[in-house]
Chains A and B, each alone.
Chain A
Amino acid sequence: MSPSSPEARRARPLLGTLVEVRIDACEGDAEAAVAAAFAAVAQVQALMSFHDLDSELSRLNRLGHRLPVSLHPWTVDVLRRAQALHRATGGLFDPAVAPALAALDFLPAPLAAAPRGGSIADLVVGDGVACGVRPLWLDLGGIAKGYAVDRAVDALRMRGVRAGAVNAGGDLRLFGDTPQPVVVRDPADPCRHWSLGEFRDIAIATSAGYYAARSTADGLVMPIIDPRSDRAVAVGPSVTVLADECATADALTKAVMLSGTDAPPAWLRDFGAQAVRLEGRMAA
């Protein structure tokens, strides 16, 4: 059971959603720890936002095919993780789908002419620097939210927080000795919840269309693009991934969504992850 009265529980609008930081047990200054956690999330946003034309990611998208762009260690870390996830999932996770997201108005188009083709494998990532072998629009929205949660948890722990949680609009991480209940929204009716069980020291992320659907010629779609077809996924199911780190869980929800329903993808095991797929037709 989670404690009935946390030492601190705050929410701020960051990463385009509401980010909640909760401290259940702390040996230091809880208020300072909360501030450090939000500062870490804000830094990830400032570095990796696709919407912010001044972010490092936007600079990389504009200039990366012409010259090496110097990057913060966190941005390099996320790009390397994204490349590893791209390889491991057979290309199903690919941040280079931003042109397709922009074409559907899920993202703003930063330049008139969007690059065609290409994947995150076309990016060369070095220490503190990256460049593309071709023009790319990368959107890290599918991994950076989870990464921000991980960095916020680091910030809390460094300031003496022994137990707590960070939840970025539904992508969450728990830590501490006491197992806590976690529920997942029902994709057919998101105010209903299904209990996943009780967990400690775990990251859990979910992708679904119930808050982000767009009407297109292909029907209602969500902001997940299949890199094989460049088409958006139809609204319906939700996919929840449980992993050690939230960046991994966040990214894998998209890959599992695209992997079909016949059998669990073998690469889940490589990440020590589990997935739960809820079909969207259980309406009451």
Chain B
Amino acid sequence: MRAPFLVLAAPALVLTQPAAATVYLTTEQAQAALFPGQALTPLPVTLTSAQADAIESQSGVDVRNKTVQAWRAADGGTFIVDEVLGKHEYITIALAITKAGAVQGLEILEYKESYGHEVRGEDWRAQFTGKTAASPLKLDRDITNISGATLSSKHVTDGVRRLLATWNVALKP
């Protein structure tokens, strides 16, 4: 493991199947982490078209879903769960906002690659079945350690900006 070598192609490597989703926290766990010891009351909101327009102009980010999953904490804070769509991924985030409108905390709840076996057809998957079965990795095993070029977090940052505007337009206590 310490002798240097360089592999120029991939003959020694084994193809594995795409990763499944990673769940970091449930909504309840994120509520307990971001508002410890506080009771949270559901605050169901459906944005009007005028509100969605206001959020888009304040944040510069498109509003794709007018249903907002929000909760109010006893101290006046707001907890929002939302899904962010990137070019390559779906990310579910939980944002905690103070009564005054500042970000109190952010947790990633779930990360899912938006392509792979869900988008690809059976034919695409079938061609890897043999190779995968021969590999020491099990098909149903969660792939936890993925090395690769860096995926931007720009969509998460955009999502936070959109949720702060949502709070400003529709969720202020």
Tell me the A residues contacting B by CB distance below 8 Å. 2, 4, 9-14, 16-18, 20, 22, 145, 165, 167-172, 174, 180-186, 190-196, 199, 202, 204-212, 222, 238, 240, 256, 261, 263-265, 268-269, 272-279, 282, 284
> For the complex, would chain A's binding face be called helix, strand, loop or mixed by DSSP majority?
strand
Bound complex: CA A169 to CA B6 (Å): 23
- Beyond A2-B144, A167-B146, A170-B148, list 6 extra A-B contacts (CB 8 Å): A167-B145, A180-B145, A184-B146, A194-B15, A212-B152, A275-B5
In angstroms, Cα B150 to Cα A18, docked, is: 9
Render B126-149 as a binary contact track against A, CB cut-off 8 A, 1 for contact: 011000000111000111111111
Evaluate contact between B9 and A18: CB separation under 8 angstroms: no
Q: Roughly how many angstroms separate A17 CA and B5 CA in the complex, as a whole number?
A: 30
Distance from A230 Cβ to chain B, minimum over Cβ atoms (Å): 22
| Residues of chain B from 1 to 16 with CB closer than 8 A to chain A in the complex | 1-10, 13-16
A2, A13, A182, A193: which contacts B156 (Cβ < 8 A)? A13
Residue of A whose beta carbon sits closest to that of B86:
A211
Cβ contact of B145, chosen from A182, A192, A263, A275, cutoff 8 A: A182
Give which listed residue, B7, B13, B153, contacts A17 with CB less than 8 A.
B153
Indicate the member of A170, A209, A222 with the most B CB atoms within 10 Å. A170
The CA of A274 and the CA of B111, in the complex, are separated in Å by 30
Which of the residues A10, A171, A174, A264 comes within 8 Å of B4, measured between beta carbons? A264
Interchain CA distance A199-B1 in the complex, whole Å: 9
Residue in A192, A208, A209, A264 whose beta carbon sits within 8 Å of that of B15 in the complex: A192
Q: Which residue of B lies closest to A2 (CB)?
A: B144
Most chain A Cβ neighbours within 10 Å, of B22, B25, B136, B144: B144
Q: Which residue of B lies closest to A173 (CB)?
A: B145
With contacts A18-B156, A183-B16, A195-B137 taken as known, whether A9 is within 8 angstroms of B22 at the C-beta atoms is yes
Residues of A within 8 A of B115 (CB): 191
A268 in contact with B149 (CB, 8 Å): no
In the complex, what residues of B have CB within 8 A of residue A269's CB? 4
> A168 to B148, alpha carbons, bound, how many Å?
10
Query: Which B residues touch A275, using CB under 8 A?
Result: 4-7
Contact across chains for A195 and B88 when beta carbons are under 8 A apart: no
B151 within 8 Å of A (CB atoms): yes
CB proximity of B4 to chain A, nearest CB, Å:
4
A-B CB contact pairs (8 Å), 22 listed = A2-B144, A9-B22, A10-B24, A13-B108, A13-B156, A16-B152, A16-B154, A169-B151, A172-B146, A182-B145, A183-B16, A184-B146, A186-B15, A194-B13, A195-B16, A195-B137, A199-B1, A206-B147, A211-B149, A222-B149, A265-B6, A274-B4
